[in-house]
Structure 1
Amino acid sequence: MHFGHANSLRQAKAMSDYLIVGVHTDEDIMKNKGPTVATQEERYKMVRACKWVDEVYEGAPYVTQLAMMDKENIDFVVHGNDITCDADGNDCYQEIKDAGRYRECQRTQGVSTTDLVGRMLLLTKTHFDRPQDGEAPSHIEDMYKHAQGAVKGSPYTGVTQFLQTSQKIVQFSSGTEPKPGDKVVYVSGTFDLFHAGHCDFLEAAKAKGDYLIVGLYTDLEVNAWKGSNWPIMNLHERTLSVLANRHVDNVVIGAPMELTPELLEHFHVDVVVHGERPVAKKDQGVDIFKVAREKGTVETVQSGSELHAEMVVERILKNKQMYEERNQKKIDKELRIMKAVEAGTIKMK
């Protein structure tokens, strides 16, 4: 669940008083769309942890029906300004549109699940080598260029560079300051490919106090630490992902990896929390929490989750061909839909 999804939920919440988010099962998604990156239980958790969500409808039907809406006392459905079709090519929201109970939100430019899967696929060593002049591009290289918009493609899957704005940060921020007497908690990390494990960790960290600040490392520091093509998502993308989490009150964008007295004093940090996974620079003999540890304000929390970003990538690479086919099918399907829209056989609303 990336920040584009979170932005859709933010817009949907702004249209309503109470937001119910339907999340499909793995089985339904596999049948209608292709393999998922996260399991349904992980997706339930991630959506529930989004600050704009009031309720999660687990196992929501892939095709939304009026009977279900009436049963759940739902007034209208919100979806992005693209067309979602079932396995037979039918608009999943046609019945809702015909009844006048459909509203649209704007998709977030610069991100899509297909694009992120493409980035993860390019972590494989063989794809570090770009084709030389005169050589044919590999299937994944061609597909990724298509998704990136290097060639004419779908306006939904094809993405442009994500451009961060101050307005977007304000929209995602809680805008709150610690109240007098609040216990301020600080955590720091990469928070790349925001996933259910991050949600568990942030919830456990927030439980240590009243106000949670998350420090995000720069792309250069993350790459120097992890190497390869890490981070998958840049600092601006990771910022919005973390800000969308209901347990987070504030984010330090480009926080130093090694804690400084100035940072702790500036934010009036009472406790510094970290997880049980290996900490950056520990293999170099550097304790990045030294300043806080000397004050006795460092605590380790158990999130209860073993999931981490490398595991998410491993899922993709383990079934590389399946995900390549998923991405290509999605691009092809969206192009067919756009041709039908241009021909007038399908209406966007």
Structure 2
Amino acid sequence: MAVVIDYNDISTIQTEGEAVRIWCDGCFDMMHYGHANVLRQAKSFGSFLIAGVHSSEEIAKNKGPPVLTLDERAKLLGSVRWVDQVVINAPYSTSVKTLDKFGCDFCVHSEDIALTAEGVDAYAEIKAAGRYRFSKRTPGVSTTDLIGRIASRFVEDYNKNSQIKESPWTTMGGSCPTSQIIALFSSLREANSTDKIIYVPGAFDCFRILPTVDTNHSEKIKYFQSTLTVIRYYAISDIGHVNFLESIRKHGSYIIVGLYSDEYVDNIVIDAPYNITSNFLERFQIDLVCCGQAANSIKINGTEDPYKEPKRQGKLKIVDSGCSFTVENLINRILKDRKLYAKRNQDKAKKEITQYNLWQKIQTEAEAK
């Protein structure tokens, strides 16, 4: 877990050696695959990555209210394998002063434009100073889009009357990573004969496609939680996921699970079976199957206990993460303030479309000369 420090508690950091220090900041709300991919690319520019995360007040002022608290976002950010240090309360507009304060050579941000409440590029100053690098944006996934998808799945009239077109940056309609990209998220470490191998099945996904269910929000959420998918490419991490994986790490040395952006994971199983069979346990040489307290109590109607075989072999361990945060908490936060999030998404899309059209105009004029 990366060390977390407060921007306001630091004067100037004295750096030693020739390490290239990188600054990468953002809201990092509802940590997802796109965030992890930006951080992965940012780390490739140097050897020490500092991730700055904005306060909830700054985000509300410039974009609209975040779903997660500052502490929750910092915890998730610190769990990403490429992050060496987390700085909370980082200014929304990145300045040369900030880079110098933390001894950073330059800042890395994805190629989409981040705008302040006044419509100004938040990275204008460091771009002018030549201390800005951009990473390729991950198409098909953004916090804005994910909030919209969750809300629209549970509320039929969400965004129904919006006249705003979709932003080219934040509403892309799904991500399809290649095998090469997926490999970049692996630790590339094979299990050895001395490792105690733990298998962790779980959804780790808030965005599985649900069939039409004529039920209320509460029942839909319960169904939502009962689905099992070991890996989806929109997958987000929540505090419960991170605490759970931290706890599991204490019980073994090689963890197999479907969560890309977390430092506690060694390998991934795609399309893992819902029912854990003896053949599956033998194939992956699994010593222990771990699940959370909530997962152990979930059973999809008409199916047998997915942990029946691990229980028979004495290989099941129920792990208490010490955290009560669940997918249901996340969904309820969004549904509770869905009108605010709808307005936030519309305002953000409007600003991005204006900026995108301006950028295209400049590009066209430059090519015509």
Name the TM-score class by shorter chain: 0.7 to 0.9
Matches of 2:79 and 2:174, distance apart in 1: 27
Q: Identify unmatched segments of 5+ residues in structure 1.
A: 128-137, 147-151, 215-238
- Would you say the 8 A contact 1:8–1:80 is kept in 2? yes
Match of 1:47 in 2: 77
Residue 273 of structure 1: how far off its partner (Å): 0.8
Match of 1:73 in 2: 103
Matches of 2:358 and 2:301, distance apart in 1: 56
Aligned: 1:161 with 2:174: yes
Name the SS of the counterpart of 2:310 in structure 1: helix
Aligned: 1:274 with 2:291: yes
Aligned: 1:294 with 2:330: no
Name the SS of the counterpart of 2:51 in structure 1: strand
Matches of 2:197 and 2:320, distance apart in 1: 19
Matches of 1:70 and 1:54, distance apart in 2: 17
Q: 1:287 to 1:166 in 2, by over 3 A?
A: same
Residue 308 of structure 1: how far off its partner (Å): 1.3
Of all paired residues, the percent bearing the same amino acid is 42
Match of 2:217 in 1: none
Name the SS of the counterpart of 1:189 in structure 2: coil
Matches of 2:158 and 2:252, distance apart in 1: 50
Q: 1:278 to 1:104 in 2, by over 3 A?
A: closer
Aligned: 1:59 with 2:72: no
Matches of 1:283 and 1:157, distance apart in 2: 36
| Of 163, 188, 197, the match for 2:201 | 188
Aligned: 1:84 with 2:114: yes
| Of 280, 290, 298, the match for 1:263 | 280
Q: Bigger CA drift: 293-302 or 313-322?
A: 293-302
Matches of 2:177 and 2:101, distance apart in 1: 40
| CA offsets 1:227-264 (integer angstroms, 9 cap, x no match) | xxxxxxxxxxxx5xx12210011111111111100111
Q: 1:153 to 1:105 in 2, by over 3 A?
A: same
**Segments ≥4 residues shifted beyond 2 Å:** 282-287, 339-345
Q: Bigger CA drift: 276-285 or 243-252?
A: 276-285
Match of 1:172 in 2: 185
| Of 49, 62, 67, the match for 1:32 | 62
Aligned: 1:208 with 2:251: yes
Residue 36 of structure 1: how far off its partner (Å): 0.5
- Would you say the 8 A contact 1:49–1:245 is kept in 2? yes
Number of matched pairs: 303
- Would you say the 8 A contact 2:48–2:84 is kept in 1? yes
- Would you say the 8 A contact 1:243–1:249 is kept in 2? no
Q: 1:111 to 1:274 in 2, by over 3 A?
A: same
CA RMSD of aligned residues (A): 2.1
Matches of 2:197 and 2:347, distance apart in 1: 47
| CA offsets 1:10-56 (integer angstroms, 9 cap, x no match) | 11011111111001111110111101011111110111111111111
- Would you say the 8 A contact 2:151–2:158 is kept in 1? no
- Would you say the 8 A contact 2:288–2:317 is kept in 1? yes
Name the SS of the counterpart of 1:312 in structure 2: helix
Residue 160 of structure 1: how far off its partner (Å): 3.3
Aligned: 1:251 with 2:268: yes
Aligned: 1:20 with 2:50: yes
Name the SS of the counterpart of 1:243 in structure 2: coil
Name the SS of the counterpart of 2:113 in structure 1: coil
Q: Tell me the TM-score normalized by structure 1.
A: 0.82
User: Counterpart amino acid of 2:267?
Assistant: N
Match of 1:319 in 2: 337
User: Counterpart amino acid of 2:122?
Assistant: C
Matches of 1:285 and 1:68, distance apart in 2: 55
Say which structure is richer in helix.
Answer: 1
Aligned: 1:140 with 2:159: yes
Residue 283 of structure 1: how far off its partner (Å): 6.7
Matches of 1:121 and 1:285, distance apart in 2: 29
- Would you say the 8 A contact 1:185–1:272 is kept in 2? yes
Residue 340 of structure 1: how far off its partner (Å): 2.8
Matches of 1:243 and 1:330, distance apart in 2: 28
| CA offsets 1:308-346 (integer angstroms, 9 cap, x no match) | 11211111111111110011011001012123324449x
Q: Identify unmatched segments of 5+ residues in structure 2.
A: 1-30, 207-236
Residue 142 of structure 1: how far off its partner (Å): 5.6
Match of 1:231 in 2: none
Residue 4 of structure 1: how far off its partner (Å): 0.5
Matches of 2:348 and 2:316, distance apart in 1: 46
Residue 284 of structure 1: how far off its partner (Å): 5.8
Matches of 1:158 and 1:292, distance apart in 2: 41
Q: Bigger CA drift: 40-49 or 331-340?
A: 331-340
Matches of 1:316 and 1:306, distance apart in 2: 17
User: Counterpart amino acid of 1:180?
Assistant: S
Name the SS of the counterpart of 2:204 in structure 1: coil
Q: Tell me the TM-score normalized by structure 2.
A: 0.78
